[in-house]
Every structure is written in C-alpha cells, then in structure tokens.
C-alpha cells in the first residue's frame, strides 16, 4: 500500500531509509513483539532520522509585491531550522530565481548567507514582458527534498514601455475540483468526511455548491464551500467502485461534473475531531473480516518531533484514541495510523496556530507628511527576550500593490509545511481560537491542501546518500567527467579548478563512479572565468569536463497562471509607475548599480611562500629561462629530452626529482615548456614553496607560482583539453540609495524625486529594552504608503507588522 504525506515531501525518502532496518523487522516480527516495543522502535527511528536529516527552511522578504520593468527588486533571506523554527546558520549560499509563467528562469543569483540571513537585489530588465512571475529561493541542502519545499512567492511585473492594446478575448475559465477523503480512502459502508477544493485557472478558490450522485443518479450528499473554495461534507458510500460523481454549481451558474475517488470494499477510515476544548479524538473504523480484532498504532509528530505514540485494539471494527491538545506543539501535526503488521494505512493532518510571536509594532511619528519631509519610524518587539533580526520596506500603495506579500510567520508555520500555494495563509494563523468558522476553514485546509499520500514504500527501499551536500563553507561548483568519445561518466580522474586572478586559489577533486566532481570554493564574488582541466597524469584527450548548472532544474507542479489582465482601472497606477521609473532612471541612473564584494583574504592558498620575487626589482630579461636561472635560485632548471623541467630543493638541500606544481595566476600549467616560452615581462611576481605540499588528494614536490600584473593570464595559451567557461559567483552587496533633505537647499532642489519605494533596510537588529528608530524622507509623489516590517528572533519567534501614512500635496 502506497501512502504519501507532506512530511516525506519535506524530509525526503531519507527518513524512511533510516526506518528500513526496524521496519523490515517489524513487518516480519512474531507476535512476541509488544505494542509498546513497536511504538518505541518507530519513535526512536524517527528521532534518529531527524538528527541525520535536519530540515531547512528559507523565507524571502521582498520589498514590494509588484514591479515595473527596469526597477530593482530588493529582498532579505532568512534561513530557519525546520524543526525548532529558529535561525539556522548552516548553509552559506542561497539561490534566488525569478521564473516566468512557463517556469523558466529569467533572472538568477547566488547569495551569500551569514548568521542565517542574506540580502540581495535583482535589476529587472527593461525588456521584461508584463506578466505574473514567481520568485523562488532555496539552498543546496533543500534540493534533496524536492522543489515543492522551496520558497515561492508570486509577483506582478508590468512593462510600461509597451503600450497596452485593446483587451484580448477573455479565455474560457478553467476550474479544478478535487476531493479528498479523510485519512486517504472511501470504504464501503463506513461514514467518511470528505474535503474538497475548487479553484479557477489562476489557482484561486471559487465559491460553489453541489451534490453527490450515486450510479443511479440519485443524490446521496450535498456540499457547499466555506472559504477560499474549500469545504467538507459527510458521506457514507453504499457500494464499492467508482460510480459516485459530484455535480458542482458555481456562482456564475456554470455546472461541473466530476467523479469522486473510487470506493474500496474493505479498509480503514480515520476521523479526527474535537472531543472537547482540551482533547482531540481519533476514531478508526474498519470494514472487512480480515481486519477485525487487529491492533492499531497511532504515531503523531510535529516537524519530526514525536508528540503521541499510542496503541489500541479494534473492538467490533472500531478503535478510539484520545489526544491531549497540550501535547501538540504549534504547527502541523501528522497523525499516521499503522495496522497490526506495522504498515501505514491512514494519515491526517492537524494545524495548531502559534500562540506566541515576536510581537512587532511599528509607529510613524505622524500620520500625514508633506513632500520631502522626514519620517521617523519607531520599532518594538514585544514578547521576545532575545535579539531579533528585521527587514523594513516602505512603498507606495496603488492598485498593483494592494494585496501585499507573504508574512514570515504564516509561511514558517503553515505554508512551508504543505504542497502548493495557500490563499491568505495569515487568516489561519491569526484567527481567534474561539472563531468556529476559522476552525472549520482550517480543518478544510488540512483535509485538502494538507492532504496527500504517504509513500512509506519508497523509504523502506533504502535511500542513497544525499545528492546535494549542504554548502557549509562556501559555494560548491559541480561538474562531471565524461569520456570524450563515448560520453560515458568516468571515475578516478583528478580535476583541477582555478579562477585566474591575483588572489591565488586552487581546488581539485577526483571523479566518482558517476563521473561527478565538486569543488568547495570560498569568497567567489561576481563574474569569473573558470578553468577546469585534468591533472598531469591524465592530461590527454580521453576526458572532458562538463560544468553543471548550479541552479535547480526541478520545478514544483503549479497551475499555469492566467495572463495578466491590465484593466482600465489600472491605467492611473500604470501611468504613475511609468513616470516614476523613467524619472528615477533619468536623474538617478548615473549612479552605477555596483555590486561590491566584501573584503576577502588575499593570501594565496599555500600561505606565505618560502621565496618571493618581485621581478620589477631586478633587471628585466625577455626570456623566462634567464629569469629562472639568474634570479630564482630556489628553482633549478633542467633540460631533458622532452624539454624543460623544474626541480625544487627542500630545506635540507635535497632535490625533488619530480616537477613542482606550476601555477600562472592560480591556474596549473603542467607543461613546463609552455611557461618557459611565456613572456616574463608580463609577470609581476614569482613565489616558491620548497616543501611538499598537499592540495586535496594530490601531493606536489613544491610550488612555483607566477602572477601577472592583472591576474588575467595575460594571453597565456590554455591547454587544448582545458574547459574555459564564464561563471557567476556570489552576488556582491549594493546599498539602497535614497536622497536626503536635511537642509533647505536640498529641499528646494529642482531635481525631481518620484520614488515609490521610499525605504529599504534589510538589516535592523533589536535588542531587549532598546527601541530602534529609523528615518528617511518622503518623495514628491503624493499618496498612501505602507510600512512592512518582518523578522525573526534568535529564540525562534517570528513576526510581521504593517502601518500606513499619507503624503499630501503642499497647500
């Protein structure tokens, strides 16, 4: 029996692989194994897996929910431990992409993460067409668990340079009705609760009602949506098979007919409901003589932490479990039912909103301002006793930005734990506990969007090692070594990776059975030229190195969004945004959009050399052989039948009989004849290491390192079998620019200021007892503005808050 669950989508098949030894033993165990022992084994295995395969989440706070082509998108990244919901400073690199409607990336960037946060920006090309795009973000470790668990956020981008033509013919509306029996299945003769979800072509819920018809066309149940296109109804199928169908009537009087899930002759039905204010009741009913009287096991876990482990025997086809709500922590809890053979047969999800948050508040010093007037924001974090890291955005409200973006709390506690987008997730996290409608709507969400089948069989087969390692110390550059003629992966080939520059760094790797190689780089920022080549012992024409795409090529299934409809009601907002963008680029475009790399260690990977020669301090020779013989006594030049060779004596005057590692701007040169033919006037310095030096798995009898003036190889001819490729490193940092009007002269400046993003600060830190104040100036653009603050404390409390103010025209 194959089941699936968002749990496995989050933690991948690794968990069940960890459960393989115990699960196989349980499946074939004799009755001597007691119920307590079985549950203890499952619990221990779950805890062991959570330690071996920690979950990681990533949230991105975008500065605005909509953009105009040519504007800059700013964002802040937060990485979180998926179990404790606290900042997780493990991964040091995050990947951010902007996907179009066809899920093709139009912009990509690698961001450095430090202390569990990162920040960056993307300049939207002026040619980018109007449409609904998706911003997604993830880490290397998250790629092991599927693209459904990456951060996703829809954004609207409008190209105001292209005139809006007459409205296109309205496409035929498409609707997607789905039905989900509680626990997983419909079973003949057993009462079930069935959740359903009805969405339009954009994936938004629509109001509807309808009825269930049997094979004879007679109504046996009715239903109606409650909120966001979700609902549920009670249903007892009388016959097995697929004869039941639902007739759905939409608000526009359109009718849709679709089949219900097939009904089984025998099986299990699970029901989760409130017993009273402090307890949940899980009721299991079975149909079929083979299932009567067996023992059942219920395991409940929240983010891989076991909350409930209980056993019960079926009595007259029924078993009841009582669960204290106080034992369940905030977030989504997975209830998994195992039969007497310890096979998972049902699953149900339950959501408990977080009771505590960061308690953020933001207060502008006024509710109304004039143009170019100073605004002061006062921030406070209430419940947290720990420092918090926040990000703050202030943007103009118009028809395009009315809806706002996702908030960090509802994402971490809810959206990140289920498949697909959730319409208004904050509703489920902030509704009062006594709100009966909100409780019913939350239950409908868990029945539908949170419902899936739990694939234990995939886990029990024993998972391989993770395909993607966490980038703990820097970006991992990945490649594959293949046979040049056959294209077959080749194992055991040593490959060197260099990025020629004046900062000498070198990396190497030996290909695995699948031909894969990877290099852990450090402090790589901006565009680079990479050179990959086999080592000296394999430098022939048999092998080729292919560089792999560092970005994920897997995409979460999603409904194709309908085309962006630019109605006449948006004309005013579009004209204003167009003028704003043009004015900003015209008057502030002279400020270069420079990405500045942080300070990095300029010391070569081999540290301080034993000998160092600045060639400009000597008489310059035009032949490299004269330079080496006259000025570099630490390297002996020998001529053999195949040409030049270098010998490096160690500190005890012993000569190594093999060539040292020769580098030019950090790139290995395995043919000494080539370096001896190189123009020495292009070389600024020469460094020599006279000891044996270990570079990864290789040992070299010393190092001879040449550095050109610009660190760009100065026209040195590459080996014919080397791979030279442009590669984008980590994105550097950019400062958000906003003019200040501190003096009367600045306020009276005739330079127009049509900014709609007044303020962006991705790094605001609060400390207990301190109320940070932030200040900025309004622009010449009148209207209402929204302040958005999001953040996370060191002890895992998340929060967001908003405020508004107005900029009025001068009297």
pLDDT at 567: 57
pLDDT at 28: 34
What are the Cα distances from residue 82, in Å, to 70, 386, 541, 760? 36, 19, 47, 28
Q: Which residues, including other chains, have CB under 8 Å from residue 553's CB and lie 6 or more apart?
A: none
The encoded tokens of residue 442 equal 């939350």
Domain 176-352 homologous superfamily, CATH: Macroglobulin (MG2) domain (2.60.40.1930)
Q: Which residues of the chain have pLDDT under 70?
A: 1-38, 42, 48-49, 163-173, 290, 383-385, 399, 450-464, 536-541, 558-576, 578-594, 651-655, 811
pLDDT at 572: 63
Are 280 and 20 in contact, with CB atoms under 8 Å apart?
Answer: no
The encoded tokens of residue 645 equal 């060779």
pLDDT at 585: 64
Are 259 and 242 in contact, with CB atoms under 8 Å apart?
Answer: yes
Instruction: Give the integer Cα–Cα distance in Å for 343 and 17.
Output: 15
Look up residue 496 and give its DSSP letter: E
Instruction: Give the integer Cα–Cα distance in Å for 722 and 533.
Output: 5
Are 472 and 514 in contact, with CB atoms under 8 Å apart?
Answer: no
Q: pLDDT per residue over 712-734, tens digit each?
A: 999 999 988 889 999 999 999 88
Residue 183 burial by CB count (10 A; 0-12/13-18/19+): exposed, middle or buried?
A: buried
Going by C-alpha positions, the residue among 282, 354, 274, 273 that lies closest to residue 311 is 282
Look up residue 562 and give its DSSP letter: P
Residue ranges covered by each domain of the chain: 176-352, 476-549+596-730
Are 756 and 138 in contact, with CB atoms under 8 Å apart?
Answer: no
pLDDT at 560: 53
Instruction: Give the integer Cα–Cα distance in Å for 114 and 119.
Output: 10
Distance in Å from the first CA to the final CA of the chain: 74
Output the CA torsion sign for 340, 341, 345, 350: positive
Helix (H) / strand (E) element for 382: namely none
DSSP bridge pairs for 231: 196
What are the Cα distances from residue 292, in Å, to 3, 40, 288, 295? 22, 24, 7, 9
Cα angle 351, 352, 357 (rounded to 5 degrees) comes to: 130
What are the Cα distances from residue 419, in Å, to 304, 335, 346, 451, 452? 17, 17, 18, 9, 9
pLDDT at 454: 44
Q: Count CB neighbours of 265 within 10 A.
A: 12
pLDDT at 110: 97
Q: pLDDT per residue over 387-401, tens digit each?
A: 899 999 999 988 677
pLDDT at 303: 86
């Amino acid at each position: 029996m194959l089941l699936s669950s968002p749990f496995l989508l989050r933690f991948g098949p690794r968990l069940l692989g960890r459960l393989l030894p115990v699960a196989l033993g349980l499946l074939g165990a004799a009755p001597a194994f007691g119920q307590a022992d079985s549950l203890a084994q499952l619990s221990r295995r779950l805890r062991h897996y959570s330690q071996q395969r920690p979950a990681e989440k990533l949230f991105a706070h975008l500065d605005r929910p909509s953009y105009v082509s040519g504007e800059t998108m700013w964002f802040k990244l937060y990485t979180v431990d998926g179990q404790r919901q606290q900042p997780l400073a493990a991964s040091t690199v995050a990947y951010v992409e902007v996907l179009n409607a066809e899920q093709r990336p139009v912009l990509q960037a690698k961001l450095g993460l430090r202390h569990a946060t990162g920040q960056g920006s993307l300049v939207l090309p002026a040619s980018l067409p109007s449409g609904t795009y998706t911003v997604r973000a993830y880490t290397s470790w998250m790629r092991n668990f599927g693209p459904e668990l990456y951060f996703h956020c829809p954004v609207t981008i409008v190209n105001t340079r292209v005139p809006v033509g007459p409205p296109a013919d309205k496409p035929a509306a498409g609707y997607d009705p789905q039905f989900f029996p509680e626990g997983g299945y419909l079973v003949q003769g057993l009462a079930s609760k069935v959740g359903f979800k009805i969405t339009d072509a954009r994936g938004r819920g629509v109001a509807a009602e309808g009825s269930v018809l049997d094979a004879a066309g007679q109504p046996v149940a009715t239903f109606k949506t409650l909120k966001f296109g979700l609902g549920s109804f009670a249903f007892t199928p009388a016959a097995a098979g697929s004869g039941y169908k639902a007739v759905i009537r939409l608000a526009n009087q359109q009718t849709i007919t679709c089949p219900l899930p097939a009904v089984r002759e025998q099986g299990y039905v699970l029901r989760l409901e409130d017993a009273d204010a402090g307890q949940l009741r899980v009721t299991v009913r079975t149909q079929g003589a083979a299932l009567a009287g067996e023992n059942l096991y219920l395991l409940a876990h929240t983010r891989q932490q076991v909350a409930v482990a209980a056993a019960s025997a079926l009595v007259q086809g029924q078993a009841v479990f009582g669960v204290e709500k106080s034992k369940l922590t905030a977030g989504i809890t997975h209830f998994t039912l195992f039969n007497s053979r310890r096979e998972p047969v049902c699953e149900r999800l339950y959501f408990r909103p977080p009771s505590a948050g960061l308690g953020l508040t933001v207060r502008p010093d006024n509710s109304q301002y004039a143009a170019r007037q100073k605004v002061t924001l006062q921030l406070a974090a209430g419940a947290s006793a720990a420092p918090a890291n926040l990000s703050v955005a202030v943007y103009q409200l118009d028809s395009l930005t009315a809806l706002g973006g996702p908030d960090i709390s509802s994402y971490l506690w809810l959206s990140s734990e289920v498949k697909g987008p959730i319409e208004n997730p904050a509703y489920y996290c902030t509704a009062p506990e006594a709100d009966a409608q909100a409780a019913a709507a939350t239950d409908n969400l868990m029945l539908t969007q949170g419902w899936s089948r739990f694939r234990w069989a995939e886990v029990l087969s024993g998972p391989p090692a993770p395909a993607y390692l966490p980038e703990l110390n820097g970006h991992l550059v990945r490649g594959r070594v293949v046979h040049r003629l056959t294209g077959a992966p080749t194992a055991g080939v040593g490959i060197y990776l260099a990025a020629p520059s004046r900062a000498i760094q070198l990396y190497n790797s030996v290909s695995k059975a699948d031909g894969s190689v990877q290099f852990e780089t450090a402090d790589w920022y901006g565009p680079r030229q990479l050179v990959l080549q086999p080592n000296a012992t394999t430098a022939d024409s048999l092998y080729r190195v292919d560089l792999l795409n560092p970005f994920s090529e897997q995409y979460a299934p999603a409904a194709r969004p309908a085309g962006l409809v630019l109605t006449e009601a948006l004309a005013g907002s579009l004209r204003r945004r167009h003028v704003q963008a043009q004015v900003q680029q015209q008057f502030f475009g002279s400020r270069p959009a420079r990405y500045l790399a942080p300070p990095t260690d300029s010391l070569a990977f081999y540290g301080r050399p034993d000998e160092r020669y600045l060639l400009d301090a000597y008489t310059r020779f035009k032949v490299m052989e004269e330079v080496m013989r006259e000025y570099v006594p630490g390297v002996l030049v020998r001529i053999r039948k195949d040409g030049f060779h270098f010998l490096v004596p160690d500190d005890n005057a012993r000569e190594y009989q093999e060539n040292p590692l020769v580098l030019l701007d950090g790139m290995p040169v395995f043919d000494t004849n080539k370096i001896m033919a190189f123009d020495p006037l292009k070389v600024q310095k020469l460094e020599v290491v006279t000891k044996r030096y270990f570079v990864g798995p290789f040992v070299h009898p010393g190092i001879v390192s040449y550095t050109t003036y610009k660190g760009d190889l100065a026209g040195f001819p590459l080996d014919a079998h080397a791979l030279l490729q442009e590669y984008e490193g980590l994105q550097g940092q950019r400062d958000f620019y906003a003019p200040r009007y501190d003096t009367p002269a600045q306020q009276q400046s005739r330079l127009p200021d049509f900014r709609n993003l007044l303020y962006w600060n991705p790094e605001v830190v609060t400390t207990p007892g301190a109320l940070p104040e932030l200040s900025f100036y309004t622009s010449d653009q009148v209207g209402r503005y929204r302040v958005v603050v999001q953040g996370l404390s060191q002890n895992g409390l998340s929060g967001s808050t908003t405020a508004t103010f107005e900029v009025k025209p001068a009297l």
